[in-house]
Amino acid sequence: MINMEIQERFVDFLSYKTYCRIVFSDGGKVPLLLVHGGPGSGHDSFELLDDLAYQDERTVIMYDQLGCGRSSDESIPDELLCEKTWTMELENLLKNLGFPEVYLLGHSWGGMLVMSYLIERRPSGIRGAILSSTLSSAKLWEEEAKRLVGYLGEADRKAVKEALESKDFSSLEFENAVAHYSRLFIAPEKGEDLPECLRRQKPKQGRKAYERNWGPCEFVPTGELKAFDYTQRLGEITCPVLVISGTDDESTPLINKTIYDALSCPKSWSLLSGARHMTYFDRKEEYIKAVMEFMKREDDRHGQR
């Protein structure tokens, strides 16, 4: 009988610690490591994928990037809240966990981090990668976000236009527009009927990480990631890739087709009907099924059960 248990630990990184949550299985399958979005979010919503671990009897690992969630520490200087640090942290985590092979799943910003990690570091031991509702070009994301804003009501469109022109994102009208945009294309509103893992309060440092790297506005990247573009280099990824996204996702079908077409490795794309950006909430069962089938296909190809 295969044993499953939830483990929590902190992994030393620089002079700080990375919080790590592991749904551990002793079944011997190649583990799945989840890389969360933001930048500045945390692992919390990934707890929805505990079901994947139990259904597949596979170890699933999630963690909070430095400055996020339980890895947040007010002593961390702002300059460490960046892609370079989080790439080093991912490498450090993989080294410390000691698994010879893993699957990587990166959602949103996490997918960007996985892309750059695979291309720039060319790591060994990555059996496959899942690029979940992510982007390879910040410029294309901005173009698509502005297009999606066009689906909002007139008052919301006006508030967004004025905020972008003035670079003042503090008005109540703009906040309302963002909330309406989020309900349409990102995630459900917070409420008592949501799972506990989606209702947790995020640390303030996570917001700092977001604004430093993306900017104060979801629609227009103005932070350190504003020039992010790996589209022309996606052909350098050699491991098999599953692209997964939603039809109602702010990571639009065009963004994901751009990624899919640029990949030259073994690849597949699962487009989930009616799913917003939090695809693994809106279409949880279909999402888990697609990820499990992808990993089973690769496990079978390697002669493992």
Burial class (CB in 10 A: 0-12, 13-18, 19+), 262: middle
How far, in Å, CA of 147 to CA of 142, rounded?
9
Q: What are the strands, taking DSSP E only, across the chain?
A: 4-13, 16-25, 32-35, 60-63, 102-107, 126-132, 241-246, 267-272
Residues in the chain: 305
CB 94 within 8 A of CB 121: no
Q: Is the dihedral of CA 298, 300, 303, 304 positive or negative?
A: positive
Catalytic residue among 64, 71, 277, 299: 277
DSSP assignment string, 142-185: HHHHHHHHTTS-HHHHHHHHHHHHHT----HHHHHHHHHHHHHH
Cβ atoms of residues 87 and 120 within 8 Å: yes
**277 classed as catalytic:** yes
Based on the residue annotation, tell me whether 43 is a catalytic residue of this protein: no
Torsion of CA 293, 285, 137, 156, to 10 degrees: 170
Spot the catalytic one: 25, 108, 133, 245. Answer: 108
Which two tokens mark 95? 């080294």
Instruction: Considering the candidates 249, 251, 282, 299, report the single residue annotated as catalytic.
Output: 249
249 noted as active-site residue: yes
- Classify residue 257 as exposed, middle or buried by CB count within 10 Å of its CB (0-12, 13-18, 19+): middle
Cα separation, 164 vs 148, whole angstroms: 15
- Residues taking part in catalysis: 108, 249, 277
